Amino acid sequence: MTAVVIIPARLASTRLPNKLLLNETGRPLIYHTIKAASPLINVVVATQDQEIYSALKDHVNVIMTGDCKSGTERVRACLNSEFVAGHDVIINWQADEPELDCYHATSLLEEIDRSGVDIATLAAPATKEEYLSPDVVKTVLDHKNFAMYFSRCSIPFGDPTRALKHIGLYAFRRASLSKWVLRETTYPSESLEQLQWLQEGLKIKVCIGAVKYAGIDTREEYDAFVKRHAI
């Protein structure tokens, strides 16, 4: 089973404009994400923004896509690329998750290989602050660790000790990803594409790992990242 990492990247960001090219560490934020994923060897960036293409084309394979509604749609737009063709599993690694370790992706690959699921993703125990924050996506699982729901609300209600934060990392079987036809979620206020998958009846296996730092969505989170990684 072979895998490729695709990092969907766009400059538009409501809470932190142009965050992927912020370089107060001495390198653009997305460069750190690429470096984190690079031990998996095959890494591709998918973007519609010329600025991102120009910043990265000499360092990594970059695919220019059209305008896409979601990160997964951007990943799907790359399936016929020469950089992606022939790989059995597609890892969708969010561009603003620079502090994940490649072993997290490896755990998803192992889960897909072992259990035969079509989608695997990652979650980690949430702090009380994360449990209360609408900037952190939470999930609740069934007894077999399949996701029942994702939300920006504090779930499960009233019990932060059981809260799991969702981490923006997915593994898809290529054959499944290429044939899915998904409608818009009826819960658009959540702004979570994985709710589309659940509503279509797709099952999402969740691996639980130790992830201290989640994605970077705000200026405060980026400033803290800079302190940890400044050259």
Domain ranges of the chain: 3-229
Joined tokens for residue 139:
């999930």
Return the half-sphere exposure (C-beta side, CA atoms, 13 A cut-off) of residue 174: 18
Task: Give how far Cα 231 sits from Cα of 39, 216, 227, Å.
Answer: 21, 19, 9
Predicted pLDDT at 14: 75
Helix axes 102-115, 29-37, angle to 10 degrees: 50
Joined tokens for residue 7:
């990092």
Predicted pLDDT at 69: 85
Name the architecture of domain 3-229: Alpha-Beta Complex (3.90)
Is the peptide bond prior to 156 cis by the omega test (within 30 degrees of 0)? yes
Place of tokens 């010329």: 50
Joined tokens for residue 2:
């072979």
Joined tokens for residue 90:
């597609």
Does this model's pTM top 0.85? yes
Predicted pLDDT at 29: 95
Task: Give how far Cα 135 sits from Cα of 15, 50, 89, Å.
Answer: 10, 28, 29
Cα-flanking dihedrals φ and ψ of residue 5, to 5°?
A: -95, 125
Measured distance CA(168)–CA(96) in Å, rounded: 9
**pLDDT per residue rounded down to tens, the chain (231 residues):** 788 999 999 998 777 889 999 999 999 999 999 999 988 668 999 999 999 999 999 999 999 998 888 889 999 999 999 998 889 999 999 999 999 988 889 999 999 999 989 999 999 999 999 999 998 999 999 999 999 999 999 999 999 999 999 998 999 999 899 888 888 899 999 989 999 999 999 999 999 988 887 789 889 999 999 999 876
Predicted pLDDT at 46: 96
Predicted pLDDT at 162: 95
Measured distance CA(94)–CA(72) in Å, rounded: 10
Predicted pLDDT at 231: 60
Measured distance CA(215)–CA(71) in Å, rounded: 14
- 186's CB contacts (< 8 A; 6+ apart) are 199
Let me know: does 209 contact 122? Beta carbons within 8 Å: yes
